[in-house]
Amino acid sequence: MKKILLILFTVVIFVVGSVLAYKKISYNKKEQEIIQLFNKESLESFSKNKDEILEKLKTLDKEEANEFYKKSRETNDIILEKINREHDNLSAKNFTGEKWDIANKFLNKYDLELFYIENDEVIIGECSDFYYKTFKDYVTEDYKEFLKIISDENMRIDHSINSSMSISLEEVANRIIARENFLEKYPDSKLSEYIHDLCNEYRRDYLYLYPDVVPDYKENLKEYKRFQEKYPNSPTTELIGYYLMELNTDNFEDNDNEALTRIIDEYINKYFYYGYLKEREKGNYFSYDSNKLFEEFKMIKEETSEVLKNSSQEEANKIYKNYLEDNNKILEKINENDYTMLDNTFYIGEGDIDKEKLNKQNKFLDNYGLEVVEIEEGFMLTEKKDFYYNIFKNYVSDDYRDFIKLCSEDIDYIDYFSSLEEHPEIIADKVINWEKFLEKYPDSKLKKKANDICYSYRGDYIIALTSLPTTEALKNGKINEDVKELNRFKNKYPNSPTTEIIKYYLENYKNDDINDMLADKNIEIYNKGE
**Inter-residue contact 284 to 228 (CB < 8 Å):** no
**Inter-residue contact 99 to 31 (CB < 8 Å):** no
What's the one-letter identity of residue 444? S
Of 133, 144, 92, nearest in space to 114 by CA: 92
- Give the list of residues 6+ apart from residue 42 with CB closer than 8 angstroms, or none: 82, 83, 86, 87
Residues of the chain with pLDDT under 70: 1-27, 162-165, 209-213, 413-419, 529
- Give the list of residues 6+ apart from residue 67 with CB closer than 8 angstroms, or none: none
| pLDDT at site 378 | 85
CA angle 19, 21, 23 (to 5 degrees): 70
| pLDDT at site 417 | 67
| pLDDT at site 150 | 95
Distances in Å between the alpha carbon of 435 and those of 57, 139, 192, 429, 498? Answer: 81, 73, 59, 10, 9
Q: pLDDT digits over 263-310, tens only?
A: 889 999 999 999 998 899 899 999 999 999 999 999 999 999 999 999
Q: pLDDT digits over 185-224, tens only?
A: 999 999 999 999 999 999 999 987 665 667 788 889 999 9
| pLDDT at site 428 | 93
Q: In whole angstroms, what is the distance from residue 521 CA to residue 530 CA?
A: 15
| pLDDT at site 165 | 57
Q: In whole angstroms, what is the distance from residue 218 CA to residue 221 CA?
A: 5
Distances in Å between the alpha carbon of 420 and those of 7, 423, 435, 457, 471? Answer: 111, 6, 19, 10, 17
